[in-house]
Structure 1
Amino acid sequence: MNKNEIVKKASSALGKVNIKLRKHSPELLIAAGVVGTVVSTVLACKATTKLSTILDESKGNIETIHKCENDKEMEERYSQEDAKKDLAIVYIQTGVKIAKLYAPAVVLGTISIAGIVASNNILRKRNVALAAAYATVDKSFKEYRSRVVERFGDDVDKELRYNIKAKKIEEMIKDPESGKEKKSKTTVNVAAPTVDDYARFFDKTCRHYEENMNYDLMLLRSQQQLANDKLVADGFLFLSDVYDMLGITRTKMSQSVGWIYKPDGNSNGDNFVDFGVMVVKRETEDGGYEDAILMNFNVDGPILDLI
């Protein structure tokens, strides 16, 4: 292996190490800051045990100065001005000794706090960058969907987004004339079991779900109106708030996205809450199909910076 190859590999290794250090710099800084804070506290406690010696020495010097100042025999040789100068010197020396005593703890504590603050700043900048990137992607996706709707219609957009497929299934229906049940083939829209980050099925996993389609639809309409009232009253509404109203478990995403209301119009969204309720079929574990309610919330996107 020649010198150039060694230098090249060493440079590559250092570059990877540098990238990893930058990647994990917030964790490293916060860990160093916490450790440094603990160590600075220990140093301060150790310094405090030596403080009494400095204070006793200072107290003894001050008492000696006052004693000489009040001694009538030394009045001509040691004036009040001399006493004031000596007291000032004692105070300054005591202050310097105390500063030196606590200097290591103070310096280490300051560096530790600076490390914690720097870690927070790095994370804040990264979060701002992520939010900006997400907003760009969200805007592009909405523009793409609007073009799909414009060209192919809203139904095609929903079918593509939620992987809704028209399938022919066999159902047992009751003949109105004979009253007997018979098999009948029906074309229905079947939704995929998985949906996007915002959309959810209103089903048994939701706390307020009832096995009555008409009741569930009525509940969703009333909760949607309540959500709109809350949006107008507060000026903002998080998706988590809507999830809570419907008995749906919160997600990390739902705690940062939602709706913004502006009386003069909202350029970031629709200015109202729409659950986007769709009645579809969903495949069951036994291979059959059941009625399901799919909700596609028209969130504006991340709203933390818009409130």
Structure 2
Amino acid sequence: MNKTEIMNKATKAFYKVGYTLKKHSPEILVVAGVVGTVVSAVLACRATTKVSEIMTDTKIDVDAVHKCLETQSEEDYSKEDGKKDLVIIYAKTSFELAKLYAPSVLLGVASITSILASNNILRKRNVALTAAYATLDKCFKEYRGNVVERFGEQVDRELRYAIKAKKFEETVVDEKTGKEKTVKNKVDVVGIDGISDYAKFFDEYNPNWEKDSEYNLMFLRAQQNYANDLLVKRGYLFLNDVYKMLGFEPTRAGQVVGWRHEPEKSDCDGYVSFGIYNANRETARDFVNGYERSILLDFNVDGPILDTLDD
């Protein structure tokens, strides 16, 4: 391995470490701030144990000045001399106290600054994340608008949810002859590609799931109604709010996207749907009919709403 290759590898390693530190800088700053705050408190406690010594020396010096003022004549030790000495004593005491607590105060300020810096970095990242979601959502809506304009709403719906016709055979009884016969039918079903990135499986791994299809349907309907009530009351609702009430872990996307209740605007549904009664999904029909105890929930979020709350 020549010198150039060694330098290139060292450079890459250096930048990789720098990138890792930058990526995790909020966590590092918070940890540093918390640890620094604790150490600052410990240093302050240790400094406090030495305050009595400083105050004792100060009292001795002050008492000596007052004694001189009482016992000596005005010519030997005047009141002005006493005032000057007291100022020097108090200044010295202040300096000693400041020097004693300086490490604790400086470390405490640095710790608070670290925590605030971490919060500032996270705030900027959230702003950037929100802007990215808003851009993607805008482009997607423009694309769907172009599809609707050119091919119609039916084609847009089929493309959006990856709806395909599924053929199946069914045995029926002929009303005229009374004999059984096999007929071919087809039904539109949603493919897995039509599921959004926000979908979640409500199954046995969820703490609110039960081995009772009727209970699960009742629970999801109740939570959906509650979510709609919150949306109307607040005027907005984040996806993470719904995740929490259903028993799912919050996500990064969930703190940005959600629903808006603005009936006067056409760019939002204005209601919350879990996709339970989606007739185009065979699994949803089986769940509602009680044949399945689990279901894939797909939420009709309006898109990024974080920037719209200040409007």
Q: Shorter-chain-normalised TM-score: which range?
A: 0.7 to 0.9
Match of 1:91 in 2: 90
Gaps of at least 5 residues in structure 2 are none
Q: Normalising by structure 1, report the TM-score.
A: 0.75
Judging changes above 3 Å, is the alpha-carbon distance between structure 1 residues 115 and 296 closer, same or farther for their aligned structure 2 residues?
closer
Comparing 270-279 and 131-140, the one that deviates more: 270-279
* Structure-2 separation of matches of 1:207 and 1:113: 43
Q: Distance in 1 between matches of 2:43 and 2:268?
A: 59
Cα separation, 2, equivalents of 1:165 and 1:260: 31
User: What's 2:24 paired with?
Assistant: 24
Partner Cα separation in structure 1 for residue 13 and residue 297 of structure 2:
50
**8 Å CA contact 1:258, 1:302 repeated in 2:** yes
* TM-fit CA distance, 1:99: 0.7
Map of 1:304 onto structure 2: 306
Taking structure 1 as reference, are residues 202 and 104 closer, same or farther at Cα in structure 2, changes over 3 Å only? closer
Q: How many matched pairs?
A: 294
Give SS of 2:168's match.
strand
Measured after TM superposition, the shift of residue 94 of structure 1 is: 0.5
Maintained 8 Å contact 1:172/1:182: yes
| Distance in 2, Cα, partners of 1:202 & 1:4 | 56
* Aligned partner letter, 2:190: A
Change (3 A) 1:120 1:243: closer
Structure 2 match to 1:63: 63
Give the counterpart letter for 1:57 in structure 2.
D
Structure 1: how far apart are the matches of 2:161 and 2:8? 50
Report if the CA contact (8 A) 1:190-1:283 is conserved.
no
Q: Identify unmatched segments of 5+ residues in structure 1.
A: none
Paired residue for 2:270, among 269, 272, 293? 272
Which residue of the partner structure matches residue 127 of structure 2?
A: 128
For the 8 Å contact 1:190–1:282, the answer to whether it is kept is no
Deviations 1:104-140 (A, max 9, x none): 1111222222122112211111111111111111111
Residues 294/122 of structure 1: CA separation in 2 closer, same or farther (3 Å cut):
closer
- Which residue is 1:159 aligned to? 158
Counterpart Cα distance in 1 of 2:85 and 2:146: 87
Q: 1:68 to 1:174 in 2, by over 3 A?
A: farther
Deviation at 1:97, TM superposition (A): 0.4
The equivalent residue for 2:237 is 237
Deviation track 1:130-183 (CA, whole Å, cap 9, x = no partner) reads: 111111111111211222222333333333333322111234556667888765
Residues 92 and 146 (structure 1), Cα distance of their counterparts in 2 relative to 1, 3 Å cut: same
8 Å Cα contact 1:256-1:303 kept in structure 2: yes
Contact persistence 1:278–1:293 (CA under 8 A): no
Cα distance between partner residues in 2 of 1:107 and 1:244? 41
Structure 2 distance, partners of 1:203, 1:40, is: 49
TM-score by length of 2: 0.74
Describe the SS at the equivalent of 2:278. Answer: strand
CA distance in 1, matches of 2:179, 2:228: 46
| 1:201/1:50 CA distance change after superposition, 3 Å | closer
- Distance in 1 of aligned mates of 2:244 and 2:180: 41
Change (3 A) 1:92 1:244: closer
Partner SS, residue 196 of structure 1? coil
> Cα distance 1:196–1:235, how it changes in 2: closer, same or farther (>3 A)?
same
Q: Give, in whole Å, the separation in 2 of the partners of 1:89 and 1:14.
A: 54
Q: Within 5 A, what are the aligned runs for 1:251-290?
A: 251-252=250-251, 253-262=253-262, 265-266=264-265, 269-270=267-268, 272-273=270-271, 275=273, 278-279=278-279, 280-282=281-283
Equivalent residues of 2:137, 2:304 under 8 A apart: no
Q: Percent identity?
A: 54
CA RMSD of aligned residues (A): 4.1
How far apart, CA to CA, are the structure 1 residues paired with 2:254 and 2:175? Answer: 47
Cα distance in 2 for partners of 1:2, 1:241 equals: 57
CA separation of 1:123 and 1:180: change in aligned 2, threshold 3 A: farther
The one-letter code matched in structure 2 to 1:301 is G
Quick check: 1:52 aligned with 2:52? yes
The farther-off stretch of 88-97 and 175-184 is 175-184
Contact 1:260 1:266 in 2 (8 A): no
Mean alpha-carbon deviation: is it higher for 233-242 or for 127-136? Answer: 233-242
